Every structure is written in structure tokens, then in C-alpha cells.
A and B are shown apart, each in its own frame.
Chain A
Amino acid sequence: MGAGLKSLGIWGFLGGLVAATTIGVLWAGPKDERVADPSELVTGETPAAAARPVRMVMSGAFVSESGINLYESIAHYVARKNGITIEVTTGLAYSTINSMFETGAVQLGFICGLPYTVLRDMPTPRVELLAGPIMKYPRYGGRPVYFADLVVRSGSSYHSLEDLRGRTLVYNDERSHTGYNAPRHHLMEHGFASGFFGKIVRSGSHEESIRMVAAGEADASWVDSLVLDYDREKHLGRAGEMRVLESIGPMTVSPLVVSPDLPAELRAALRRTLLGMHQDPDGKRLLDAALIERFVPVEDAQYDGHRSMKNAAEEAGTVAIR
């Protein structure tokens, strides 16, 4: 080293120092890390060359807003398989969704069974059934059914429907079967139609109802078993704080519906895709994530129960839960 330093000389050393400083300044200098991501720059509508996208609505009957992305993935899988584009809209009220189907603003929807019967029973039916899911949990018994679960806070002192007399009930939507139609019928059957709860509040969605019960803003709520199971399984929201007092059902599960405005071939193709999804590795992976075993055909008659419950309430003049 001594020989090296001697041969380098003091000027060589100083020169090296300057060079090192320059390199260091260049290396440590500020850099603009805002690198545009081309894929993210394209926003808004789908490319003009593509056909007009199929609009799909996702009601809160299947899954909470937190799990909505999974159903969007299922929708995109179906679109990819059929060479179409599907735009998914969420967060709308059941009545809004029905209005949209009535006017043809949307063509596909994961909707509640009761709104389906309304749309189906119009003089010109605005929807037809595509398929219904069979959920994986044992209580569904390998059939396309679901339940209306009466939930209370885990630590609450309520142990039966009776205990809830005079308490606050929160429901999601008047057009919800599990949240409103079935419970209303259930109350009627128990002779509580003339007035049972102290207070009735509307939340707009099952997960909001769960949140309100968990937060003490309400004492109980009938919620869709699909929503409750999914949020519990994925630890979403406050579903884990719920205790199920009782369940109404099994009842035919909420369906996937299609507008008759879409070409018949496309409708048939969409149905085939859904019914064969569990046999395709990609489709199977999506179904597993959504806790769905597979999609199966459902018939309109399977929703007669929904209709009869609604009719019975209307005939009895019990329109609203009290």
C-alpha cells in the first residue's frame, strides 16, 4: 500500500477525492420517482372499438360492499369467456336497481329474490333467471338456498325473538326478502304483525345493519345468510361480533338475472358459462374464493315462496314491520 500511495502522489489522492465526491453527489442527488404507469392513465369508458358494455348491478343481497370485488371478478370472468365487456355498479338501493331493469339501463344483476319476482311478474317480464349459487357451507345442503339470520350482539342478553320485543330493529331495505319480506311474514306467523319492536330503522344494506347492531345503534336485524357467512369467513366489517338468534329458511337463494333486452344467444351463452364455471380451473378458483360450490339452474316457480310471503302480508294489510 505504501508503494501504491507513493506512486499515486498527493495530487492523485486529491483527484480521487474530487472524483469520489462527484460520484457521490450524482448518486445521492434527488430523483423524480413519479413515473407514469401507462396502464393507469387509461380511465373512463371502454375502448370505442369495443361493443357497448353490458351493465351489471350488484345488490347488497349477495355480499357486502367489502366483498364486492370478488363478484366483480366473477362478472369479468363471464365477460372474458363470452367476449364482452361488463361494467359493474354497486351500492344502489333495491328499488333503484329495479327501476334500472325496468328502463333497460342495466342488463345483468346479482339481485335479491323478492325484487326478482317484482321484475318477473310485470306484464312484460323485465328479467329472466340465469342461475343461482349453491353455497359451500353445510347448512345449505348442496341446494340453491339461503336463510334470513336474526342477529344480535354477541354479548347481548337476547336469546329468543321474544326477548326483542320493544327493542330496535334495523333492516336493510323494504324490498329485501331476507331483510324484510321473510321477517315480516315470520312475525305475522308469530302473531307479532300488529307491533312488536319499539323502533324500526333502515340501514340501506346488510353490512350497515350489522355495523349498527354491533355499535349498539340497534338491537337486532334480519340479515342475508350469504352476507353474514362471507363477512364472518373473511373477517370483514363487524360480522364477527354477531350472534344468530334464529334463522328463517331455507329459501331459494338470490338469483343472477338477465334482461330480455340482451340477445337470446348471449343470454344462453352467459348461462352456459355460469353453469360450467366450477369445471374450469380459473372459474373454480373464483367460486372457491366466494365460498360458492357452483352455479345451478333455478326456476321461477322456486320463488313462489317469496311471492306468497309478500302476498300474505299485503292481503293482511301488514305492509310494514312494526
Chain B
Amino acid sequence: MNAPPPRAGTRGLVRSFVVLVAASVALQLASLMAVREISLRTEQRRLLASASDATRELLDRYESTTYLAVVGLSTSDWDLLLRQRKLAKQFEGELAQNLAALQLGGKAHIGGAEVSLLAEDDPATKERLAATEPLWGEVQKSAVRVLRSDHQSLRNNPDLERFQAATQRLAEALVTLDADISKRAGSDLRWLGQVQRALPVGTVALMLLLGAFVFRRILLPFDESMKDLARSEGALRVARDELERRVEERTAELSAANGELVGEREKLARANHELEAQREELVRANAALERQEEALRRSNEELERRVEERTAELREAQQRSLELARQAGMTEIASNVLHNVGNVLNHVNTSSAMLSERLRALRVEPILKAAEMLDAQKADLAGFFLKDERGRRLPEYFGKLGQNLAAERTELLSLVGALEEHVTHIRAIVDFQQSYATVTNLDEPVDLTAVLEDALRMAMASGGRGGVVVDRALSPLPRALCDKHKLLQIVLNLLANAKWALDERGGEGKRLSVRLARPAEDRVRIQVIDNGVGIDSALLTKIFQHGFTTRKGGHGFGLHSSALVARAMGGTLAAESEGPGRGAAFTLEFPFRPAEA
């Protein structure tokens, strides 16, 4: 026997078993339903037969009571009439109910009880029942008629005869119905018998089927399974022995492996120990590193602090440098100042020499002699003045001496006044320069006209022989970006030179012309022109050299530095002269950069 896979076999077995059980249940249910249906039908037939019987009986009673009522009527026995009429009415009601129940189903009176009838479904029986309906109507109608008839005799009463005939017809119909019902009950019983006989056969067949099923699908597979089991047990025993052997081998292997593992584990423990030591070392190293890091951090902070200090120092040095630079600038200014102040100091020197000369010549010795005389005569001063000649002339002498001293004092005061005037002059020059000295090396918006006016004011303030006519030709220009100090330095130098040239020329008609113009959009031109001593054409190229000068007491410094400054401003300084005695013109040009771009 080819055994299917265990799970599939079980599933198939269960499925077959379920199908068989379902078939069994279905067969049993069908049998039960059949028996029940037959039972119900038989019972219904029995009830129908009973109801039919009862209905016939009711009809008999109804006929009897109605007849007795007519008897009462005919004999004027009203009690009899009323009593029988009442009974007849009761039977009439029950009769009507029974006939309706036979036909349509419902409650029917059988004996003294009420039973439920099912609606008749046999066509033939229904037809017979329907036929009783008009018959029953006829009975009722004739009953009413007989009681309401004007014929009240019992003999030759057509209404009574009609009633009795109708009753008879209905009774016959009910008899026929009875026979029908009995016949149908018989056929139902026969069917019941057949079903009852068939049921055991079905049951036996089912049992055989079940037995076959159990034998074939359960017992045989079970037996086969048992054999398989025995075979499997043998194989299992061999396999178990083999397994035990292998287990022993494996156990030995495992034991050896375990020993190795123990060794390995110890090694690992040692290694672990070492690793632990290394870890601690690392921790220590780490701590050292952290300390170093901390030191480094501190060092870094120190470095930062020192950098900051150094930066501050550098900033200070820069400040100092700036200051030095500014001072260098101021040196140039100071040079100009000294140049200008030097001119005034010549006058101071002259004035102080004259003052010194006057003071040396001051006559103070006569006063000392007179004082010694008086001191010698202090014992008798009155007698001296009265008796001595010298004494008597002394007041006069003092009077003349006083006059001389007063005259001397006036002259000295005049000299001191001149000296003070020169000093004041110098202060004014210095004050003007100081207003520019604070600004260094910076381009700034400059009103060129105002700068030229300032320069003229400073230059003219240094004094001179006078008689110079200053001619201004200053075009109104927008404020320009330039170094105001440098410009002022150049212009002051040019104006000083012009003044000197005019002073040297002497005479009348000294004219100094200052011009400001913008020959091009981006150029400024400043000219200082005089009609002074002029410059020899051979000298025109030398005057800008360092140390070259034509002036007595000059340093050869002013024009040289002015030319350098002009170049620093991106401009040029040029000199023109038609020759000695023909005046000179100095022209400064530099780029014009408007301040309000």
C-alpha cells in the first residue's frame, strides 16, 4: 500500500468521514421529516374524519332542534320554541365554524372540544367541501323560513319539507366527504408503511457504508501504520545505537574542545588582565594628556594675553609712529614757521641790540655819586644843603638828571614796544600755523579760496616794508579733496619768496598777484606772480635744487621742499621770469578732485 503523505492522508480521511457523517445526518433528517410529515398528515386525516363526523352529528342536532322549535311554534309551546331555537342557534354556529374549518383550516368542534384543522390541500376534497357551502346556505335559509312561515303546522308544511330536504342533501354530501377522507387516510397510511419499511433498509445500508468506511479508511490504514511503526522501531533502534555512539564520540570531542576552551579562556583572562593594565595605563596617559592639554590651554591663554599685549604695544607703537609722522609733518611746518619767524627775529635782534645799547648808555653814575655825597653828609644834611655849594646845586642837578632819565625812559619804552610788537607778530604766525599743524597727511574737502586767503593773511602778517598791492584773481571753485597743509606750505613759501623779491626791488608799484583757476575739469592752477627782482633765466632751473638760494641768509630749502610737496600731491611747481628786475611767476598745478562727488 502506497501511504500518502501523513498530513494529506489525515485531511482526506477527515473529509471522507465528514462527508459520510453529513450524509448520515441528512438521511436521518430526511427520514425524520418524512415520518413527521406522514404523522401530521395521518393525524390531519384523522382529525378531518373526526371533524366530518362531528359536523354530520351537528347537522343532525341542528335539524332536530329546528324541528322541535317548529313543534313548539305549532303548539304555541313558546318555552319549547325558545329553548330549541337557542340550541339550534348554538348548533348552527358550530356547524358553520366546522364547515369553514374543514375548507379553510381553523378551529373545529369535535364532541365538546375544539381542535385545529389545517387547510385542506387535496383538490378533490376541497371541491367536495366547496360543494357543501351552498347546501349549508340552503339549510340556513330554509330554517329561517320555516320558523317565519305562516304555515305553522307540522304536516303538509312545504317550508318544513324544504328544510328537511336541504338538510338531507347536506348530510349526504358530508357522508361522501367522510368516505373521501377515509380513503385518503388509507393511502397516506400505506405510504407511511412503505417509508417505514424503507427506513431500516436505509439505516442498514448506512451502517454497511460506515463499516466499509471504517474498515477500509481506518482499520486497514491503522494496521499498515502499526506495521510501519514496528519497522520504524527497528530502524529507530539501529539509529539510536548509532546516535549513541556518535554522541559518545562527540562528547569526547567536546570534552577535548572544552579543555582547549578552558585554556583559551585562561589565555583570554590573562590577555584581558593585560588589556586592563593597558587600559589603566591609557587612563593615566589620558590624565597626563589632559594635564598637558590644560597646560597647553593655559599656555595658549598666556599666548593670547601676550598677543593682546603685543597687539596693544603695536597699536601704541603705531600711535607713536603716527605721532612721529605727524611730528615729521609738523617739522616741515616748523621749518616754515622758523623761516617766517626768523625774518621777524631779525627785527627783534635789531631792536634788542638797540635796547641793549641804550641801557648800557644809561646815565646812572651821577646818581650814585650824589648818593655817596649825601651819605658822607648824612651827619649834617641840613647844613650841607644850606651851607655847601654842592649841596645848594644838588636839587637843580637832580632836576636835570630826572629830565634826562625821563627822556631815556621814553626811548627805551619805544624800543621795548617795538620788541613786544615783534613778539606779538611771531605769536600770530605761530597761532596761524597751529591751526593747520593738527591736520596731517590727509586729503579732505578744502575750500581753495579760503586756503589762499589764509595764506595771504599769514604771509602779510609777517610784516615787511609794506607798499605791496595784493591782486586777487580767485575763481570760485567747488570744494576739492586735497591735503590742506601741503597746499598751504607751498603757497606760504611762494608768497614769502614773492615778498622777498618785492622787498629787494624796492621803490613804488610793488604788486603781488594771486590767481586761482581750473584750466581743465580735473586740474587746479594756483599762481603767485610778483613784479619783484625777477630771476635770471640761467637760474630758473636751479632754484628748485636743495640748498640753492639767491637770497641773503636763505637756506635753499623752501622751493626745493615745495616742489617735492607738489609732486607728492600729484602735481607740479614751475617758475617763470623774464629776467632780473622783470618779476617772476610761480605756477602750482595739481589734480582737481571735487569733494561732493
Contact = CB atoms under 8 A, between A and B. Distances in A.
Our verdict on whether A and B bind, yes or no, reads yes
Interface stretch (B76-84, B181-189, B327-335): B76-84
Interface stretch (B17-25, B269-277, B394-402, B438-446): B17-25
Nearest to A207: B144
Contacts, number: 126
Q: Name the interface size band of chain A.
A: 35 or more
Contact of B42 (A30, A60, A87): A30
Q: Name the interface size band of chain B.
A: 35 or more
Contacts of A89: 82, 85-86, 89
Interface string B78-101: 110110011101100000000000
A91 B112 contact: no
A83 interface: no
Contacts of A35: 113-115
A100 B78 contact: yes
A25 B38 CA distance: 12
Contact of B32 (A24, A31, A40, A65): A24
Contacts of B35: 24-25, 28
Interface in A1-57: 1-2, 5, 10, 13-14, 17, 20-21, 24-25, 27-31, 33-37, 40-41, 43-44, 55
B28 A24 contact: yes
B257 interface: no
Given A17-B28, A20-B28, A105-B78, A204 B113 contact: no
B214 A10 contact: yes
> For B73, B144, B147, which residue has the most chain A Cβ atoms within 10 angstroms?
B144
Given A25-B32, A87-B86, A89-B82, A41 B112 contact: yes
B9 to A, nearest CB: 11
A60 B82 contact: no
Nearest to A10: B214
B21 to A, nearest CB: 7
A57 B423 CA distance: 175
Interface in B89-127: 89-90, 109-116
A194 B355 CA distance: 205
A28 B147 contact: no
Contact of A93 (B25, B112, B150): B150
Contacts of B43: 30-31, 33
A92 interface: yes
B35 to A, nearest CB: 5
B113 A37 contact: yes
> For A20, A92, A205, which residue has the most chain B Cβ atoms within 10 angstroms?
A92
Contacts of A82: none
Nearest to B43: A30
A92 B147 contact: yes
B526 interface: no
B139 interface: no
B78 A60 contact: no
A204 B147 CA distance: 8
Contacts of B24: 17
A279 interface: no
Nearest to B143: A91
Given A96-B73, A99-B76, A55 B114 contact: no
Contacts of B251: none
Contacts of A31: 43
A208 B140 CA distance: 11
A83 B553 CA distance: 176
26 contacts: A1-B14, A2-B10, A10-B218, A13-B21, A21-B28, A24-B31, A24-B36, A25-B32, A28-B32, A28-B33, A30-B40, A33-B115, A34-B113, A36-B114, A37-B114, A65-B144, A89-B85, A89-B89, A90-B85, A91-B85, A92-B81, A93-B150, A95-B150, A103-B76, A106-B82, A204-B145
